[in-house]
Structure 1
């Protein structure tokens, strides 16, 4: 039998270290390892720094053999230094336009499944239209509900006519895919509310490599020594993208409220459009209990996550059920407790409650976050219990092998339906 041909279409891909690009890279590698023929249409790596990575070009087409069985085409993209609402739209549109000829060329080789990853929604029109012409099955995977988030966070103006038109277009496009998946139960419910039929909806969560992220038996001191943090201090770590939807100013507020408790320290590791302002505000407010680090390389991730006594998972209330933070899987796998700002009824709240891996406080309430920080700082035994629960949950529910095996089955079921239609004598074209 010939290998199943997958065409992955997404603006983000490895070697991006966080978010969608990280998961796309790991997914492509796993599928290729199972015998799939994987081709990828993407942009040069730029996230979360919003700067094209050295060695790549934002203005040229590039082709690379990224891994055995995985070929990657990188298309030009405009990356703004500061990503405002309008600039983000231009950025996404630049990729949609530049990738169009590559998409057409790749569809001529008749992939079995075109897997488009949202965001961005702007790649959906071409995905739907061209796949119908080339008789290719289509699968839309929604990592973020970018349209809802853009309106709720003020990235797009709150004009009723505009909102109705954009959400209507999103709804129309989503219904045209053969399968639509998302990463949490709440997000799959939202797909149904957008008009996707239940038979098309799939649950495809993010995962973690539990062999790469795991609790270390010995304390990790190198980051503490680098920053001058004592071994007995209690470290609350935020690691990941520093963007608008996180609302990370609340960490500074908590740091100010707990400043008198000298053993409480905050580490913020990563990059993003909001980082410079956070650094400026921390300096202005003389918060010497908070430390900033750049995004760390993959080989240092486990050491970084094990530096935490408690992980911080911060989100704004307005975006809390439109996205499921990809960073949560690594937090749980590291075997350390999670302190999350998550309202009751949201996906994050549900995971933390089900796993018994941490504490949740209402979003955007600095006083309650600070109170929870203080509570966890003095309850060492409780931290150990919560951390152990986190690791057990990661091993049982979030391993890459179990999640990707389910995707493998779902892909084959989707293709089997096509074969059954053809065998049944139904004339699909002309």
Structure 2
């Protein structure tokens, strides 16, 4: 198959949607498929394009056998709700022309759009219809619901308009998928035909993330003894994660000299969190860790923590969960029973009510004082990571599902168009493709 993916996040960003977009594309290439990507320059989660790269022009390169086109994008230093809208709109506009060029000149069998962002998704389905390709929308995050649920956007009239536009986008794709059963059910609530939906979850490479001793370079550098207990959070630091709740729980447990907290990652709320924890010497902050060091970071923990605001329930399933399970450490998660996160964690960790800092602290303390419980829950998590989150199994499901909707022997002539070689060259020159 020829596969064109349009998504705002891609390598060399290390976490979140970028990781899964990149690993999916490189896995598809390894299986013998041809893959191209239209994406933005790296910027996440620091919300800053690295020095030496520019967000103001087009650039094409090869990464892991994948042809990657970088389209210009506006990246706000302080990503407020309104600025995020402009951010997504900028990519939707700039990604359209490269997507058109690849669609007409390269003729993909299927065009995949990854949400976020829904704005660029609308153009992806339009391009697919114009070129006779099949269209697939993969929803990693219900961005409109999350923006209003977390208070990033508040205008009720704008919400109605955005939800109406979202419904039109969802209905325009041949296939719509999401990463857990509860998020697929939310698609049904948004009037997406269940026959066109499927669950394809994120994954973890269980050969790369595996149990190992907890005495690591991180404990040594932070002066944490082997007998001390480490509660770890690793990932994005933004409003959705509710990390202030973890810092508050650490404050409640400050009298326990054996308990340490490590928060590793980047994001717009990191400076605020560092300030909140400034008087607690057992709260440690690290930056994003490389892929090569990630398993060692996870092994440093005695337990993993997933704080989450109630407003974010079933809007996203934290992608980091599979890695936590694979490390064979128990998880403490803030989640209401009946949500997708609760269903995943129950039996492999402890659940507490979202926003309940006292219960979060009590759950962390319970695991720190009961090694046998921690070991039993961690072993169950490792088992689940292999059964439910294995990368090879999930990529095979991607391939099987894409093959099932693609008419590979022939292509419909209806709605297709032809762009001359001269016209394509002129557009390429105008874009300064390298």
Shorter-chain TM range is over 0.9
User: How far did residue 413 of structure 1 move?
Assistant: 0.4
Q: What is the Cα-based RMSD across aligned positions, in Å?
A: 1.5
Answer whether contact 1:258 1:370 (CA < 8 A) is retained: yes
Corresponding residue to 1:262 among 257, 281, 284: 257
Provide the residue aligned with 1:24 in structure 2.
21
Residue of structure 2 in register with 1:390 after alignment: 381
CA contact (8 A) 1:220 1:303 kept: no
> Which structure exhibits the higher relative contact order, with contacts defined as CA atoms closer than 8 Å and separated by 6 or more residues?
2
The residue that corresponds to 1:145 in the other structure is 142
Q: Which residue of 1 aligns with 2:427?
A: none
Preserved contact between residue 58 and residue 71 of structure 2 (Cα < 8 Å): yes
The reply to whether residue 343 of structure 1 matches residue 336 of structure 2 is yes
CA contact (8 A) 1:44 1:58 kept: yes
Q: 1:105 aligns with which of 83, 101, 107?
A: 101
Superposed displacement of residue 31, structure 1: 0.3
Pairs aligned (count): 415
1:133 to 130, 134, 138: 130
Matched, 1:272 2:267: yes
Aligned equivalents of 1:221 and 1:111: distance in 2? 46
Q: C-alpha offsets along residues 347-377 of structure 1, whole Å, 9 cap, x if unaligned?
A: 1100012xx2111100010000011111111
Contact 1:118 1:143 (8 Å CA) reproduced: yes
Q: TM-score, normalised by structure 1?
A: 0.94
Mapped to 2, the partners of 1:341 and 1:87 lie a distance apart of 29
Distance verdict in 2 for CA 1:192–1:421, change over 3 Å? farther
Which blocks of at least 5 consecutive residues in structure 1 are unaligned?
none
The residue aligned with 1:165 is 161
- Cα distance, 1:258 vs structure 2: 0.7
Match of 2:118 in 1: 121
Match of 2:45 among 44, 48, 65: 48
Q: TM-score, normalised by structure 2?
A: 0.93
Q: How far apart are 1:419 and its partner, in Å? A: 5.8
Q: CA deviation at 1:128?
A: 2.0
Question: Contact 2:129–2:415 at 8 Å: present in 1 too?
Answer: no
Distance 1:269 1:410 in 2: 35
Provide runs of 4+ in structure 1 moved above 6 Å.
none
Q: Do 1:15 and 1:45's aligned partners in 2 also have CA atoms closer than 8 Å?
A: yes
Quick check: 2:74–2:87 contact (8 Å CA) kept in 1?
A: yes
Answer whether contact 2:132 2:414 (CA < 8 A) is retained.
no
- Give the Cα separation in 2 of the matches to 1:382 and 1:155: 39
From 3, 8, 30, the counterpart of 2:5: 8
> Aligned partners of 1:235, 1:309: CA distance in 2, in Å?
5
Q: SS of 2:136's equivalent?
A: strand
1:175 aligned onto 2:174: no
For the 8 Å contact 1:243–1:272, the answer to whether it is kept is: yes
Query: Which whole-Å deviations, capped at 9, do the CAs of 1:126-145 have from their partners, x for residues lacking one?
Result: 11222211111100000000
Q: What is the rounded CA distance, in whole Å, between the counterparts of 1:203 and 1:369 in structure 2? A: 30
Whether the aligned pair in 2 keeps the contact of 1:265 and 1:289 (CA below 8 Å) is yes
Matched, 1:248 2:243: yes
Task: Tell me by how many angstroms 1:93 deviates.
Answer: 1.2
TM-superposed deviation, 1:219: 3.2
Deviations 1:391-420 (A, max 9, x none): 11101111001111111110110014x769
1:386 alignment partner, SS class: helix
For residues 166-193 of structure 1, give each alpha carbon's deviation from its aligned partner in whole angstroms, at most 9, with x where no partner exists: 1011011101100000000000000111
Structure 1 Cα separation of the partners of residues 348 and 372 of structure 2: 13
Q: 3-state SS of the aligned residue for 2:94?
A: helix
Gaps of 5+ in 2: 417-434
Determine which of 73, 85, 91 is the counterpart of 1:77.
73
Give CA deviations for 1:145-172 in whole Å, capped at 9, x if unaligned: 001111111111141x322221011011
* Partner SS, residue 255 of structure 2: coil
User: Does the C-alpha gap of structure 1 residues 60 and 421 become closer, same or farther in structure 2, counting only changes over 3 Å?
Assistant: closer
